[in-house]
Structure 1
Amino acid sequence: MQPLPCAPSSSGPFPASSSLPSIAIVGAGPTAVYALDALQRQGPACRVTLLEAGGQPGQGIPFNARNNGAHLLANIAGFELPPVGETLNAWAMRQSPRRQAALGVAGMAHDPRAFFPRMALGAYYADQLGRLMAPEAGPCTAELHCHAEVQDIVARPDGARVIWTQRGQRHAADFDAVIVASGYGKPDVGARLAGASARIARGRRVAVIGSSLSAIDAAVELAVRHGQFHEAGDGTLRYVVEQPFAVTFLSRHGLLPEADFWVPEQAPALRHCTPAALAATVRGHDGDLDRAFALFARELAEADPDYARTIDLPTCDADSFATRHFAARMGSDPFVHARANLAQARDSHARAQTIAWRHAILRMHEAFATIVPDLSDADLARFSRGLKRVFVDNYAAVPHLSVARLLALHEAGVLTVQRIGRDASMARAADGGWTIGTPDAVERFDEVIDARGQAPLGLEDFPFPTLRLHICAQALAEDRHWHEGLAPAQGHVLDPEDPALSRVHVLSLPFLLHRHPFIQGLTESAAMARACVAALGRRAEAKPRSRDDIHAALAWLDRTDPIYQGTDVLMVARPTA
């Protein structure tokens, strides 16, 4: 793969004399690639500037080659990945044998149901970004700036100013619109392991917080540093320890993820729990979740009557369903369940036959995603404690090889799982290690790796101070809380009624997760990008409205919040009527 051309910054990314609309994309990971693809395919002619903080454009944090080896797998199959020009498998098939081997896809590049290494997906997106930047790619002219850290965004009715630093130099440019596609807020497991590897020496006990695919990545990364996996003649996997070590997954519920099950490429439509039917249950107050659950239960009972009888579905409600659903797994050894589940999932693929209840829940999570943003605070909290856990567990199924590796590590005496509940405590020990306390015991570990997924981020974590102040002031004026993150309007525009905020679209996943808990995969990134570009295409000048209330709120924050005292952001952020 040839490096992408990263342009040096000057006073602005394009000549000021150009009459084409200008769009800045903050970030150059997969979400930004999908945004540029949508602009090239469905957008008007424009000038696009991508500002990438790192030096590996296109790859994004979870898929970069620097911290991901070929042993770390993505959990999305080729046929599920939204294509950028060409499908993942078509791209993999035209790579040279040498590159296929380097990316870990040799022998499976043709298989649309194969799970590729994360670094292969990163290479795919990097290649597609290069293609999208070519002059013949579409009506848009694109320019990429690497090592460009965006410091601030100033939204105004006449445009948006983006301020960034690049190799110690400060730059600023004005754009007609900004797409914030800055991706995840915490480093990936590979990066964290790279920093810890020097300390994880022979005989060390390592605690991994979490038990999802990121935790599996952590365990596998440690395993390849301390021994080798071997496949036996009968296809079973075993692990040989060369340098002793031990890993414990610390999980709130003590569960391991289930293995990927076969699903048809074209899923049948839901009959009862449809987006339209769910929307009709939402009346804007407590109780919406109960009406939605009734549709969920009806769909599930029809899809798999045996499963419904097993958990006594007719007596479940929105609060008790998760407890019933997880009861058998919670009551069994996690590795015993993992072995049985892996056999079931492999049989599902061998027969090309789905598991009815799992497939129904998988389809319904997409329908529920359309109403979760509109649930009341109380219903949202209930949903997060119950149904959300079921949905996330079901759609976060992992590659069969990942489960086989966990089983091999456990049989080698390397891996255990410990349930820690909600009240676990963690403290640094005097000798540099860690103590983890639960109601039942206190455990000591030499190292701790946080492999939990991306947590929702509140607006106080939004990294652009002037834009953050602008949104906080608006929230204050409208008596809304901003600690829960962002809830952009259709097309992911911050506020279509505000002449300034209507120029900013936010696709940054961590800030959307609170009200959009399922919006964290590549499929969602592609959908967000398409919606954003569609909104850009139809954006008209919003009718101005008085913003004296915003100005008053800005003034209040300027007086009371030490973050903003002594700054000049008040005047540049004030929207004008």
Structure 2
Amino acid sequence: MSATPRVPARSGPFHPLSIAIVGAGPTAVYALDALQRQGVAHRVTLLEAGGQPGQGIPFNARHNGAHLLANIAGYELPPVGETLNAWATRQSPQRQAALGLAGTAHDPRAFFPRMALGAYYADQLGRLMTPEAGPCATALHCHAEVQDILARPDGVEVVWKQRGRRHTADFDAVIVASGYGKPDVGARLAGATARTAHGRRVAVLGSSLSAIDAAVELAVRHGHFHEAGDGTLRYALEQPFAVTFLSRHGLLPEADFWVPETAPPLRHCTPEALGRVVQGRAGDLDRAFALFARELGEADPGYAAALNLESCDVDSFAERHFSARMAADPFAHARANLAEARASHAQRKASPWRHAILRLHEAFATIVPTLADADLARFSRGLKRVFVDNYAAVPHLSVVRLLALHDAGVLAVQRVDGRQGVARGPDGGWQIAGQTFDDVIDARGQAPLGLEDFPFPTLRLHLCAQALAQEREWHEGLAPAQGHVLDPEDPALARVHVLSLPFLLHRHPFIQGLTESAAMARACVAALMRRAEATPLSRDDIHVALAWLDRTDPIYQGHDVLMVARPSA
């Protein structure tokens, strides 16, 4: 087993912390891995609401069969002790077959089933909780639903319910690594998911990989895929059903394109260059787009000429970028794009403009949180769509299945106005855009959540009061400081780190992947290690605490006192 050897306990100016991690999915696994690597004997308690620790909702074996593919290749996945492919190749032939890895376990560019990634993280979590993994003492509580978090200058109290009993414990710090937020809209409206929909006419809101997964899940329940004599994948319908993707733009995702594992640095639109022109002022986005256009134009002059990039601005670029696809039949484009993507892999040759946009989105991710509100809205309407479409390219097999379903006459795509709602029809079905469906499945992914949706009432009250004092809108969610600390200037909130993606998406729209989860966890642990430096209480610390008390008001929660920011006059 090629796991990371035990890290010796670090001696020196550090003292152990007691740390609670809310959630035990992949983000929590990365956080625990980073803590074990620090060499300090922290006491770590993981509180997992479900019964399958390590897997997380998107990779949970209960909700994913071997036919549902993850959207990240092995070489892209940040390793936890060992790479995904090293772990896969050492599994028994029987387990490889059960997880859908037979024949691909060794391939670092293969897309594994979601449940295989869940099994990988579950195994790594188990290893990280052994004495050989590092000096941290760990405890895992499953079926532990965290009900409240009370942050105070002297510590953080966590309240959870487990098997009908209420538990409380105090910690030095808390990492909120819980995953997805509200259930999807379709499930709330129609009570339907891809596994529970029984109607013959099914609407799927969205057209991304999640929508393809929903269609494939329905397809395996109503028929089967098989390879025809000419080597193409076909779908045989056994029980009548039909699926319609309802999408605002009517576009299907493009197929995964080949990129080198390492790439030369950007020349013009670097994070440093963007940081110099983006400072929260009006016009920042226009200055950033000028760098973007220069980089993209040099990377692919032919693409730039086709779009007349020189005459583009940040508000017109997306429309020109998508214009050819919007005018084409979506399945015809998918078929042509799949052939192009397969050729790029066979030749190990990147599409210059696609690769450039992929790298540029990483640079833009560093400045989006600092954009002024008006620029952030413009970015979300245009350039963000291009970035998301580019990095959300899907596995080739997913596109092949999509085409097989369309060829069998069971899958269609319809463009709908985003303002059109979902309503009950007179026959008990669901009416959308003038059509009636038996079931509706929302596959549009996780929407950004605001402070009013934060699940821990006392901490939510604390954050909402602070936002009110700072004249921030609650719907904007969270914008943590370095290390994902809620507020380093507040002695109480400085003890809480939030890595929960739904509440960060408003200002950090590109943090939905496992690579970002790993980066957030490492940054969080680095901040915790700064807190773990053994420094005595100084007069400055006392003055900070007194000043904090002076600018806050108390709220009484049972026997506890919570200090929240006093609204400004």
**TM-score under structure 2 length normalisation:** 0.92
Q: State which of 547, 554, 571 in structure 1 corresponds to 2:561.
A: 571
CA contact under 8 A between 2:449 and 2:476: conserved in structure 1? Answer: yes
The CA distance in 2 between the partners of 1:178 and 1:200, in whole Å, is 39
Match of 2:423 in 1: 427
Match of 1:335 in 2: 331
1:316-465 pair list within 5 angstroms: 316-437=312-433, 442-465=434-457
- Does residue 1:481 correspond to 2:473, yes or no? yes
**Aligned AA for 1:535?**
A
Structure 1 residues 119, 187: closer, same or farther in 2, change over 3 A?
farther
CA contact under 8 A between 1:161 and 1:175: conserved in structure 2? Answer: yes
Match of 1:15 in 2: none
1:504-515 pair list within 5 angstroms: 504-515=496-507
Structure 1 residues 498, 114: closer, same or farther in 2, change over 3 A?
same
- Does residue 1:70 correspond to 2:60, yes or no? no
Instruction: Show CA shifts across 1:161-189 (max 9, x none).
Output: 00000000000000010000001114589
SS at match of 2:521: helix
Structure 1 residues 93, 160: closer, same or farther in 2, change over 3 A?
same
The CA distance in 2 between the partners of 1:423 and 1:574, in whole Å, is 38
CA contact under 8 A between 1:474 and 1:550: conserved in structure 2? Answer: no
The CA distance in 2 between the partners of 1:78 and 1:196, in whole Å, is 28
Give the C-alpha shift of residue 20 in structure 1. 3.8
CA contact under 8 A between 1:51 and 1:145: conserved in structure 2? Answer: yes
SS at match of 1:225: helix
The CA distance in 1 between the partners of 2:143 and 2:184, in whole Å, is 19
Match of 1:113 in 2: 109
**Aligned AA for 2:210?**
S
The CA distance in 1 between the partners of 2:506 and 2:347, in whole Å, is 38
Give the C-alpha shift of residue 289 in structure 1. 0.2
1:99-498 pair list within 5 angstroms: 99-187=95-183, 196=193, 200-201=197-198, 204-437=200-433, 442-498=434-490
CA contact under 8 A between 1:342 and 1:400: conserved in structure 2? Answer: yes
The CA distance in 2 between the partners of 1:385 and 1:355, in whole Å, is 25
**Aligned AA for 2:457?**
P
**Aligned AA for 1:39?**
L
Gaps of 5+ in 1: 1-18, 556-565
Q: State which of 520, 523, 529 in structure 2 corresponds to 1:531.
A: 523
SS at match of 2:358: helix
The CA distance in 1 between the partners of 2:479 and 2:331, in whole Å, is 40
Structure 1 residues 43, 506: closer, same or farther in 2, change over 3 A?
farther
CA contact under 8 A between 2:187 and 2:441: conserved in structure 1? Answer: no
Match of 2:21 in 1: 25
The CA distance in 2 between the partners of 1:390 and 1:507, in whole Å, is 25
CA contact under 8 A between 2:465 and 2:565: conserved in structure 1? Answer: no
SS at match of 1:572: strand
**Aligned AA for 2:334?**
A
**Aligned AA for 1:216?**
I
CA contact under 8 A between 2:482 and 2:523: conserved in structure 1? Answer: yes
The CA distance in 2 between the partners of 1:43 and 1:443, in whole Å, is 60
Q: State which of 40, 46, 51 in structure 2 corresponds to 1:50.
A: 46
Structure 1 residues 102, 186: closer, same or farther in 2, change over 3 A?
farther
Structure 1 residues 112, 500: closer, same or farther in 2, change over 3 A?
same
The CA distance in 2 between the partners of 1:102 and 1:199, in whole Å, is 23
Give the C-alpha shift of residue 548 in structure 1. 5.4
Gaps of 5+ in 2: 1-14
Give the C-alpha shift of residue 471 in structure 1. 1.2
**Aligned AA for 1:289?**
L
Give the C-alpha shift of residue 231 in structure 1. 1.6
The CA distance in 1 between the partners of 2:558 and 2:307, in whole Å, is 60
**Aligned AA for 2:97?**
A
CA contact under 8 A between 1:60 and 1:122: conserved in structure 2? Answer: yes
The CA distance in 1 between the partners of 2:39 and 2:380, in whole Å, is 37
Instruction: Show CA shifts across 1:207-246 (max 9, x none).
Output: 0000001100100000000011112344311111011100
CA contact under 8 A between 1:212 and 1:256: conserved in structure 2? Answer: yes
**TM-score under structure 1 length normalisation:** 0.91
The CA distance in 1 between the partners of 2:157 and 2:446, in whole Å, is 29
Give the C-alpha shift of residue 456 in structure 1. 0.3
Structure 1 residues 333, 125: closer, same or farther in 2, change over 3 A?
same
Structure 1 residues 524, 189: closer, same or farther in 2, change over 3 A?
farther
Instruction: Show CA shifts across 1:386-435 (max 9, x none).
Output: 00000000000000000000100000000000000222222011322101
The CA distance in 2 between the partners of 1:151 and 1:157, in whole Å, is 20
**Aligned AA for 1:525?**
S
Match of 1:547 in 2: 548
- Structure 1 stretch 43-52 or stretch 27-36: which is displaced more? 43-52
The CA distance in 2 between the partners of 1:330 and 1:178, in whole Å, is 46
Give the C-alpha shift of residue 512 in structure 1. 0.2
Give the C-alpha shift of residue 567 in structure 1. 5.2
**Aligned AA for 1:121?**
L
SS at match of 1:406: helix
The CA distance in 1 between the partners of 2:195 and 2:120, in whole Å, is 31
Identity over aligned pairs, percent:
78
Match of 1:9 in 2: none
The CA distance in 2 between the partners of 1:22 and 1:423, in whole Å, is 48
The CA distance in 1 between the partners of 2:196 and 2:118, in whole Å, is 28
The CA distance in 2 between the partners of 1:433 and 1:250, in whole Å, is 16
Report how many aligned residue pairs link the two structures: 542
**Aligned AA for 1:551?**
T
CA contact under 8 A between 1:75 and 1:115: conserved in structure 2? Answer: yes
The CA distance in 1 between the partners of 2:196 and 2:31, in whole Å, is 40
The CA distance in 2 between the partners of 1:189 and 1:350, in whole Å, is 40
CA contact under 8 A between 1:27 and 1:180: conserved in structure 2? Answer: yes
Match of 1:12 in 2: none
Report runs of 4+ in structure 1 exceeding 6 Å deviation.
Answer: 188-194
Give the C-alpha shift of residue 286 in structure 1. 1.4
SS at match of 1:449: strand
Give the C-alpha shift of residue 473 in structure 1. 1.3
Instruction: Show CA shifts across 1:237-292 (max 9, x none).
Output: 11110111000000000000000000101122111110000000113211000000
CA contact under 8 A between 2:195 and 2:217: conserved in structure 1? Answer: no
Instruction: Show CA shifts across 1:447-497 (max 9, x none).
Output: 110111100000100001111111111122222222210000000000111
Match of 2:12 in 1: none
CA contact under 8 A between 2:39 and 2:134: conserved in structure 1? Answer: no
**Aligned AA for 1:107?**
G
- Structure 1 stretch 298-307 or stretch 43-52: which is displaced more? 43-52
CA contact under 8 A between 1:157 and 1:575: conserved in structure 2? Answer: no
Structure 1 residues 509, 200: closer, same or farther in 2, change over 3 A?
closer
The CA distance in 2 between the partners of 1:79 and 1:550, in whole Å, is 50
